[in-house]
């Protein structure tokens, strides 16, 4: 209980200082946390915001993250155990990784037009790299003793991947998934800012055009809460998987 209190102490102090400072400054650009909380509560009670913007945006984010996770893990494990192929593809990976995903949004707008396909493409292309690279690194880290033992025991191909490669790569794969989930939330907002008719990013852009600063802050706070919730859930799942893996070992 005490570590949890300490973890939240900085945030509580920051909010406590922000409230009187914002009220003293009386600026429409920096409303007090209490006003933001009221605006967030009122908008969350609005079923149109939840059904038409929050749920579709989160759904696209999770779908894009799932596609990138599946493709990244499978390709990463295969490439991690194939050093020759990886050597040929490394320059291509280095080139594509250097392109910031938001810069690809205009290209995806031309290819897919406005809508879900463009947003999914933006999320998948930007999110896949942490998963792919961590999976490659994890698969390549299988200990030589494990490789020789599997060869001596003549493990089946399926058992080799499921009982040797995947458990050895699991810590790095899970770390990549956690990084990619946070990145998926960011790319969800970016794709909705320029290429959507709904979603939290769309609401943020709409509030900016209307100079509705209170709504802008409410959306930003909501995005922060979503990011914390998703990260906490994945950290808990990661801890459980690794703990179970250590017990089985």
Res. 44 pLDDT band, cuts 50 70 90: confident
- The whole-angstrom separation of Cα 69 and Cα 72 is 5
User: Could you tell me if residue 4 is inside a domain?
Assistant: no
The Cα 199–Cα 53 span in angstroms is 4
The predicted-structure confidence for 20-40, as pLDDT tens digits, reads as follows: 888 888 888 888 988 988 888
| SS3 label, residue 224 | helix
- Domain annotation covers residue 24: no
State residue 15's pLDDT score.
85
Residues 110-160: pLDDT tens digits? 888 778 888 999 999 999 999 999 999 988 888 787 777 777 777 787 877
Q: Where do runs of H (alpha helix) occur along 26-115?
A: 33-44, 47-49, 55-80, 83-97, 105-112
The structure's pTM equals 0.87
Distance CA 137, CA 133 (A): 6
The 10s digit of each residue's pLDDT in 70-112 is: 999 999 999 988 878 888 888 888 888 888 888 888 888 888 8
- Report the number of distinct structural domains present in the chain: 1
Across the chain, what does the average pLDDT equal? 85
- Contact by Cβ (8 Å): 77, 142: no
* Residue 12 domain-assigned (yes or no): no
Structure tokens at 96: 């594509």
The CATH number that applies at residue 191 is: 1.10.3720.10
Domain range holding 68?
A: 46-248
What is the Cα 97 distance to its own chain's centre?
17
| CB burial of residue 109 (10 Å; 0-12, 13-18, 19+) | middle
Tokens of 231: 């990260």
């Amino acid at each position: 209980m005490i570590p949890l209190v300490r973890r939240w102490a900085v945030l509580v102090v920051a909010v406590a200082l922000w409230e009187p400072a914002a009220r003293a400054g009386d600026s429409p650009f920096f409303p007090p946390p209490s006003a933001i909380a009221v605006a967030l509560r009122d908008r969350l009670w609005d079923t149109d915001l939840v059904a038409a913007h929050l749920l579709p945006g989160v759904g696209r984010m999770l779908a894009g993250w799932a596609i990138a996770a599946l493709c990244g893990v499978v390709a990463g494990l295969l490439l991690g155990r194939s050093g020759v192929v990886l050597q040929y593809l490394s320059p291509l990976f280095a080139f594509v990784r250097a392109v910031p995903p938001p810069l690809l949004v205009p290209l995806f707008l031309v290819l897919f037009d406005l809508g879900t396909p463009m947003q999914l493409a933006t999320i998948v292309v930007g999110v896949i790299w942490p998963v792919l690279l961590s999976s490659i690194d994890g698969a390549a880290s299988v200990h030589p003793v494990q490789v020789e033992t599997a060869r001596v025991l003549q493990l089946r191909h399926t058992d080799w991947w499921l009982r040797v490669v995947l458990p050895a790569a699991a810590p790095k794969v899970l770390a990549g998934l956690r990084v990619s989930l946070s990145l998926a939330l960011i790319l969800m907002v970016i794709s909705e800012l320029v290429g959507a008719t709904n979603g939290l990013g769309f609401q943020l852009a709409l509030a900016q055009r209307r100079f509705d600063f209170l709504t802008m802050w409410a959306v930003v706070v909501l995005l922060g809460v979503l990011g914390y919730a998703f990260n906490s859930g994945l950290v808990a799942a990661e801890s459980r998987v690794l703990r179970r893996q250590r017990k089985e070992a």
